[in-house]
Amino acid sequence: MLEKFCVHGGTPLSGTVRVHGSKNAALPILYSVLLTRGRTVLENVPPLRDVTSTLELLSTLGVKWERRPDGALELEVLREDGFEAPYDLVRKMRASIYALGPLLAKRGRARVSRPGGCNIGVRPIDLHLKGMLALGAEIRNEGGYVCAEAPHLTGRRIYLGGASGSTVSGTANVMMAAALARGTTVIEHAACEPEIADLARYLNACGAGIRGAGTPVVAIEGVSELRGCKYRVMPDRIEAGTFMIGAALTAGEVRVEGARFEHLAALIDALESAGACLQIEDDAVQVSSDGDFRPVDVTALPYPGFPTDLQSQITVLLSLANGISVVTEKIYPDRFIHVAELNRLGANVRKEGSLAIIHGVKRLSGAPVMASDLRASACLILAGLVANGMTEINRVYHIDRGYHRIEESLKGLGAQIERVPVEADSALLSLVPDASPELRERLGEYLQIAAAP
């Protein structure tokens, strides 16, 4: 079904919200199940579209899974004959590249479709391949696929720095492959994100020998076997940050449970600099504000810098600050597609290369807008919460990739937001029953445009 969000702005958010498990931590952990024998039980895995796509791919690779009544996922590898991640599944999400390391380490070969580009710019996998080559794999490109083979992997020192700094997905992929390699692997310039540390904790619980995860130098002592275990995925720091920005933006007062200072220090600093009031607890942050914001300069950097996945959301708040703010994107310089739609709501944001120069305005006004990617969707929802009148946000399938029923969480805080169906020609859409939700929604949009007077 085609859907959109209708948001009526002007209501301060108030109350308590509990964030779900981390998508960015859950995905590599799910792929690392390919390395294990026996049963794995994962708690706090969010029921997101990206998780569903991952489970679909894992099923083709011999993994049996079920979601238990308590919400936990139970997984076990029953067959180890598959080694291909086909294009039809990989195209649904770039995280499918995580299959490369585990398949190569456990099954000796992997054939993974290249994920290609996306709406936030080019995201190459050259550092993934560099790591696999260093561990002893033979790699060739064949018809849009990365084909890798190795009778066994051998640990060694690997430098994983790139043009934009460390690579989170590349670090995770090499770490998973090295867990079953012979000898010791040392990753220099490793990503320090909390999701990397969470992956290491899971692998260690399965019997791996990983030290230093969460620092720039990670050492992996290869083992002969990993066994499944029970593990709880960390809270989603990006979802937590989105709710924290929403609380400040709407001049509300919200306690965000699952928000951890050590994961969100850069955001907390930016919000306090802008004039918000924050109270820090062990596993929660309470955010309030009077809606009067000071301009702040923010730079999106690898962890522990400001998260690129919160760059578009903080831009909304700074668009209402009393002065000029500058947001610099050091990770994905093209990640500013949301700017044009935000300006449709009355913001005054100008993109200059990898910078967004934001002249604060008094208010935003509701209008129809189009989401371009996951985090831009969150940005536009936040803008709608504070805009005068109603904001219609199309292409809601983007946000379902990373936030579980975000409208329900926001309504629990008092927001006026509804997910509503969008009319389209059902007869024509029925001709493509197997099309992805993205394709069906885009076809629906084209049908609406064609039918417009």
Residues 93 and 191 in one domain: yes
Q: Whose structure tokens read 């919160």? A: 310
**Do 326 and 285 belong together in one domain?**
yes
| Mean pLDDT value across residues 234-240 | 98
Are residues 44 and 55 part of one domain?
Answer: yes
pLDDT interval class at 453 (50, 70, 90): very low
What are the φ and ψ backbone dihedral angles of 368, each rounded to 5 degrees? -70, 135
Rounded percentage of the chain residues whose pLDDT exceeds 70: 91
In a domain, 428, yes or no: no
From the list 118, 206, 277, 379, the catalytic residue is: 118
User: Would you state the pLDDT for residue 443?
Assistant: 64
- Average pLDDT (384-398) is 93
pLDDT for 140:
95
Q: What span, in angstroms and rounded, lies between the C-alpha atoms of 6 and 3?
A: 10
CA distance 342 to 370: 10
Give SS3 for 439.
Answer: helix
Q: What tens digit of pLDDT does each residue of 126-149 get?
A: 999 999 999 999 999 998 899 999
Q: Is residue 311 part of a domain?
A: yes
pLDDT score at 434: 61
Name 186's bridge partners: 157, 219
The answer to whether residues 39 and 183 belong to one domain is yes
On whether both 147 and 258 belong to a single domain, the answer is no
Domain boundary among 194, 214, 232: 232
Q: How far apart are the C-alpha atoms of 313 and 271, rounded to whole Å? A: 12
- Confirm if 181 and 220 have CB atoms less than 8 A apart: yes
Residue tagged 């990503």 (tokens): 191
Residue 427: the pLDDT is 47
Residues 83, 147: one domain? yes
Domain end among 232, 260, 279: 232
Between CA 400 and CA 265 the distance in angstroms is: 26
- DSSP label at 96? G
310 in any annotated domain: yes
Q: Which of 194, 213, 232 is the last residue of a domain?
A: 232
Query: 240 and 311 share a domain?
Result: yes
Least confident of 3-17, 307-321, 369-383: 369-383
- pLDDT tens per residue, range 205-232: 999 999 999 999 999 999 999 999 999 9
Number of domains in the chain: 2
The whole-model pTM stands at 0.91
What integer is the mean pLDDT of 237-261?
98
CA 224/CA 153 separation, integer angstroms: 11
Domain annotation covers residue 203: yes
Q: Which long-range contacts (CB under 8 A, 24 or more apart) does 207-215 make?
A: 208/179, 210/175, 210/179, 213/175, 215/190
**Going by DSSP bridges, is the β-strand pair 390-394/368-370 parallel, antiparallel, or unpaired?**
parallel
**Whether residue 226 sits in one domain with residue 341:** no
Both 212 and 353 in one domain: the answer is: no
User: Residue 178 above 50 pLDDT?
Assistant: yes
Backbone angles phi, psi at 445, to 5 degrees: -65, -45
Q: Is the pLDDT of residue 449 over 60?
A: no
Please tell me the distance from the alpha carbon of residue 223 to that of residue 192, in angstroms, as a whole number.
23
Q: What is the mean pLDDT of residues 437-451?
A: 57
- DSSP label at residue 131: H
Q: List Cα–Cα distances, 363 to 156, 189, 326, 392, in angstroms.
A: 56, 43, 19, 17
Element spanning 388, H or E: none
Give catalytic status of residue 6 as yes or no.
no
Tens of pLDDT, residue by residue over 83-117, are 998 888 777 677 889 999 999 999 999 999 887 54
pLDDT of residue 396: 85
Assigned domain for 341 exists: yes
pLDDT band at 165 (very low <50, low <70, confident <90, very high): confident
Query: What's phi and psi for 37, nearest 5 deg?
Result: -115, 150
Contact 135, 153 (CB under 8 A): yes
Domain that holds residue 261: 3-20+235-422
Closest by CA position to 100, among listed 172, 154, 161: 172
β-strand 253-257 against 14-18: which pairing, if any? parallel
Q: What is the pLDDT of residue 1?
A: 65
Judge if 228 and 243 occupy the same domain: no
Residues 202 and 244 in one domain: no
pLDDT band at 278 (very low <50, low <70, confident <90, very high): very high
The label of the residue with tokens 């933006």 reads: 249
Confidence of residue 14 (pLDDT cuts 50, 70, 90): very high
Say yes or no to pLDDT of 452 above 50.
Answer: no
Predicted local distance difference test score (pLDDT) of residue 422: 81
Which of 37, 70, 69, 72 has the alpha carbon at shortest distance from 51? 72
Q: Are 191 and 131 in contact (CB under 8 A)?
A: no
Per the structure block, which two tokens stand in for 186?
């040392």
pLDDT score for 163: 82
- The pLDDT of residue 439 is 66
Cβ atoms < 10 Å from Cβ of 219:
18
Q: When comparing pLDDT for 180 and 50, which is higher? A: 180
pLDDT of res. 446: 57
27 within domain boundaries: yes
User: Phi first, then psi: what are they for 230, rounded to 5°?
Assistant: -100, 130
- For residue 196, give the CATH number of its domain: 3.65.10.10
453 lies in a domain? Answer: no
- Look over the chain and give the mean of its residue pLDDT values, rounded to a whole number: 92
User: Is 449 inside a domain boundary?
Assistant: no
Does the pLDDT value for residue 397 go beyond 90?
A: no
**Rounded-to-integer distance, Cα 333 and Cα 162, Å:** 14
- Tell me, yes or no, whether 206 and 270 share the same domain: no
- Residue 298: per-residue pLDDT: 98
